[in-house]
Amino acid sequence: MSKSIMQAEKECYITSRTDNLHKHHIYFGTGNRKISEQNGFWIWLTGELHNQDSRKDIHSDREFDLAIKMFCQKIYERTHTREEFMALIGRNYLD
């Protein structure tokens, strides 16, 4: 398992809870889940915030999903270029 570039502890990224954790790959879908795993583009979320079909979960709340994608890209670009990010994910979330 790769190390997340967004968090060091195994706790919910939003609530800091340590129970009922799900690993959320920030850039998911065909091919991107594997890229997310390899590059540490993932966070821990509680089940309620991950995929419990509540309007608050990251897969249902587009604004929440985009905010996490943008922040992950910002962190990656502290040590890499925008071109490197684009080569991995194929989309820029910051402009």
- Extents of the domains making up the chain: 21-89
pLDDT digits (tens, 9 = 90+) for 54-81: 778 999 999 999 999 999 999 999 999 9
Map tokens 């608050």 to a residue.
56
**Contact assessment for residue 23 and residue 3, using Cβ atoms and an 8 Å cutoff:** no
pLDDT digits (tens, 9 = 90+) for 2-58: 899 999 999 999 999 999 999 999 998 888 999 999 999 999 999 999 987 677 899
d(CA 30, CA 34): 9
pTM over cut 0.85 = yes
d(CA 25, CA 33): 6
d(CA 60, CA 54): 7
Cα distances from 77 to residues 5, 22, 38, 49, 94, in angstroms, run 11, 25, 16, 26, 11
